[in-house]
């Protein structure tokens, strides 16, 4: 059966503005990478829980927890490096949308981990999207950071 993931435009809606290359290079990286990004995680989910769930798609080489750059504590995302492309595809296909710590997580193809990418890029230290959020989300620090400042 043809892979569901042949069209690079359908691989990910996310474009990393810090990717150091062209759009073609970005798409090629997404098509070949064995790394996935996991978003919408609770701040309280541990690396052990991530391991237990994601090892179902294949053997894991490394997990890198996303951290708040000020507090150095988990801020709701991580990267998972697999040994094979098929396993990374399976984790996007079968684990994305499943529930971890009562939350539907999102698994996305990633262009590849580099040192520095584990830190939240928001001005407050966490993820950018947590600055703009206006809902109350107890698993992600309550209200969004901009609302908290009002």
Whichever of 49 and 133 has its CB closer to ligand GTA, that residue is 133
Does residue 69 interact with ligand GTA by CB under 6 A?
no
Q: Among 58, 74, 122, 125, which residue sits at the site for ligand GTA (rule: CB under 6 A)?
A: 122
Q: Is 37 in the site for ligand GTA (CB under 6 A)?
A: yes
Render 60-110 in DSSP notation, one character per residue: EEEEEEEE-TTT-SEEEEEEEEES-HHHHHHIIIIITT-EETTEE-EEEE-
Closest CA to 84 of 26, 33, 18: 33
| Site membership for ligand GTA, residue 120 (CB under 6 A) | yes
**Of 9-17, 44-52, 83-91, 135-143, which segment contacts ligand GTA by CB under 6 A?**
9-17
45 binds ligand GTA (CB under 6 A): no
**Is 82 a residue that touches ligand GTA (CB under 6 A)?**
no
Contact 129, 120 (CB under 8 A): no
């Amino acid at each position: 059966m043809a892979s569901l993931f042949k069209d690079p435009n359908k691989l990910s809606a996310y474009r990393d503005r810090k990717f150091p290359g062209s759009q073609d290079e970005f798409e090629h990286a997404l098509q070949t990478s064995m790394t996935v990004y996991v978003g919408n995680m609770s701040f309280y989910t541990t690396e052990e829980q991530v391991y237990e769930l994601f090892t179902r798609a294949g053997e894991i080489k490394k997990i890198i927890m996303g951290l708040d750059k000020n507090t150095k504590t988990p801020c709701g995302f991580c990267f998972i490096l697999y040994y094979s492309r098929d396993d990374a595809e399976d984790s996007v296909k079968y684990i994305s949308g499943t529930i971890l710590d009562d939350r539907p997580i999102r698994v996305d193809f990633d262009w590849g981990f580099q040192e520095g990418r584990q830190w939240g890029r928001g001005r407050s230290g966490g993820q950018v999207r947590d600055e703009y959020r206006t809902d109350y989300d107890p698993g992600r620090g309550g209200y969004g950071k901009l609302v908290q400042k009002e």
